[in-house]
Chain A
C-alpha cells in the first residue's frame, strides 16, 4: 500500500521535476547560460493560467494556453533583457560574463516574482485542474490530475526528443550544443538557434509551471526553491546532459517522496542534498556529465 503510494506519487513528482529541469539543461548545453530566473518563469506561467482560468473565467483549457503563452513571453523577455545584452557587451570581460548573466537573471527573476506578488498577492494559487476526480489503482486513491501530470510531462519530453533527433531545426540545435563554431561554418545563424532554444525552453517551463500549479499550487515564495531544485537536478545529472537530468529528476523525486512518507515530511529535502554533496565530491561533472 505504502509502497504503491510512494511509487505513484514519486512518479508524478519526478516527471514534473524532469520536465522543469529539461529546459534548464537545454539552455545550458546550447548557450552556456544558467538561467536563475527559471523558477520565476514557471510561477509566472502558472499564475497567468490561474488568473485567466479563475479570475477572468476563460476555463481551464484556454487558461492553460494563456499560461503557456506567458511562459514563452517571459522566456524571450529573459533572453532579450537579461542575457543577450551581456553576451554582446564589450564592457564586460569574456571571463566575467558568466557571473554577470547569473546576477542579471537572478535580478530578473526577483523582478518577475515581485511583479507577481504586487499584481496577484503572495497567496498560494492552485490552477484549475483540467482533469478532475480521483481514481484507485493498486488500492491507492490518487487524484486523476496526478496521472494527467505524469502523462503530459512524458509527452512533452517525448516531443522534445523527436524535435531534437528527427527534425532539421532540432538537429542544428543539437549540433550547436556540441560545437557552436562548427554550426556557424555550416552556414546556420547561431543567434536564430538561440531563439529556437529559448522558445523551446519557454514552452517547457510554461507547461511545467502550469502542471505544478494544478498539482501542488504555486506562490511567489516558490520561485527560489523551484530554481534551486532545477539547478541541483541538472548538476546531479550532469550539466547539459538531458538524459542525465531525466534520471536525476527521478532519483531526487523518489528520494524526497520516500523520505516524506517513511521518515517525516520535515526531512523531505535532506537526503537529496546529501546525495548532491557526495556526488559533487566524488564525481564533480555529475552522474552523466561530459566535460
Chain B
C-alpha cells in the first residue's frame, strides 16, 4: 500500500512539474509573475513545515527568518551596488538568516509550546520595529528600493523560481524522509524518549533551525531581487507569516510537498477571487477553516485518502 500511495503521489507530482515546465509557452507574463511569487512562498511554507511538522516547534515567526534574509540582501545591494554582485548579496542574505535561525533556536531549546510560539512572534515584532525605526538604513515603512534585479524577463524569473522551488523542495523532502527527519519527528513527539534512545536532540533541532532558516532566507533574498523592493508588508508582517502557516497546514503537515501545494493554492485562489474585492480573503479563510476541520491531513490527506479507498 505505501508503495502505491507514493507512486500515485509521484505521478501526480511528475504531471504537475511537466505542466509547470510547459506553462510559460501558453500563459501571459502576468500569470508567470504570480506563479513566481507563489513558488517563493512555497519554499517559505516548506521550510516552515520542516521546523513545525518534524521538529514540532510552534513557529509563529517564519517571517523573522525571511525578513532577515530579504533585508540583509536588499540593504547590501542598495548600499554597495554595482560594486557587489547580487549573488553575493543573496548569499549574504541566506547566511544572515542562518545566524537568525540559530538565535531563534536558543529559546526553543529552553521553552516549548505556546511559550516558544510567543518568542518567535516577538522576534517578528522586534524586527518589524527595528526596520521602521532604522528607516535610514532599511527604508522604513515605505520600503527599500533595490537598484538591481535578477532579470526583467518574466520567463527567466519564472524559471529561476521554479528551479529554486524544485531543488529546495527535493532537498527538504529528502531530508524529511531521511534518518534525520525521523529523529526530528521522534524528538518533536517525545523529547525525553528520543534522548533516551541515544539521539542528540539538541543537535538535530539546531540543524532543523539552520536548514529551515537557510532556505527561508535564500527564498526571501531571491524574492527581493525579483520584486526590486523590500517592504515590511511583503516580507516581515505577521500576516505574511500567518499565510505561510495556513498554507502548510492546508496542504498537509509533515509532508513538505503539501506545504508547497498549499502555498500555490492560496496565492492562486487569492488571485482568482480578486474581482470579489474584500470578500476574497474571507472566502479563502473559510475554505482553509473547512479543510482544517474536516480534512485535518490537508490536501495531501485527501489525495491519500482517495488512494486508500
Interface residues of A (CB under 8 A from B): 34, 81-82, 85-86, 89, 91-92, 95-96, 98-100, 102-104, 106-108, 110-111, 114-115, 117-118, 224, 228, 231-232, 235, 239, 266-267, 269-270, 273-274, 276-277, 280-281, 284-285
Contacts and interface: CB of A to CB of B under 8 A. Distances in A.
A273 B129 contact: yes
Given A91-B296, A99-B58, A117 B126 contact: no
A140 B305 CA distance: 67
Interface in B231-275: 238-239, 242, 245-246, 249, 253
A77 to B, nearest CB: 12
B171 interface: no
Contacts of B289: 81-82, 104, 107-108, 111
A128 B125 CA distance: 32
Contacts of B110: 281, 284
A114 B122 contact: no
B274 to A, nearest CB: 14
B132 A107 contact: no
Contacts of B122: 232, 273, 276-277, 280
A235 B189 contact: no
B182 interface: no
A89 B296 contact: yes
Contacts of B286: 111
Contacts of A86: 293
Contacts, number: 104
A280 B114 contact: no
B292 A107 contact: yes
Question: Main SS of chain A's interface residues?
Answer: helix
B278 A118 contact: yes
A54 B296 CA distance: 42
29 contacts: A81-B289, A91-B297, A96-B253, A96-B296, A98-B58, A100-B292, A102-B58, A103-B246, A106-B245, A107-B288, A107-B292, A110-B281, A111-B286, A111-B289, A114-B278, A114-B282, A235-B118, A239-B115, A266-B132, A266-B133, A269-B125, A270-B126, A270-B129, A270-B133, A274-B126, A280-B115, A280-B118, A281-B107, A284-B115
B118 A231 contact: yes
Interface residues of B, number: 38
A85 B59 CA distance: 24
B103 to A, nearest CB: 11
Given A107-B246, A277-B122, A115 B114 contact: no
Q: Which of B52, B118, B242, B296 has the most CB of A within 10 A?
A: B118
Given A110-B281, A111-B285, A228-B125, A267 B242 contact: no
B154 to A, nearest CB: 31
Contacts of A104: 289, 292-293
Please provide the 5 A-B residue pairs with the shortest distance between their CB atoms, ordered closest to farther. Answer: A114-B282, A284-B111, A118-B278, A107-B289, A110-B285
B174 interface: no
A82 B297 CA distance: 16
A266 B140 CA distance: 12
B113 interface: yes
Given A89-B296, A231-B118, A224 B58 contact: no
Interface string B130-146: 00110000000000000
A272 B272 CA distance: 41
B231 to A, nearest CB: 16
Interface in B80-135: 107, 110-111, 113-115, 117-119, 121-122, 125-126, 129, 132-133
B21 interface: no
Nearest to A106: B242
A91 B295 CA distance: 8
A134 to B, nearest CB: 32
Contact of A103 (B118, B125, B245, B297): B245
A83 to B, nearest CB: 11
A273 B122 CA distance: 7
B1 to A, nearest CB: 19
B245 A235 contact: no
Contact of A280 (B119, B125, B129, B238): B119
B279 interface: yes
Given A103-B245, A224-B238, A114 B189 contact: no
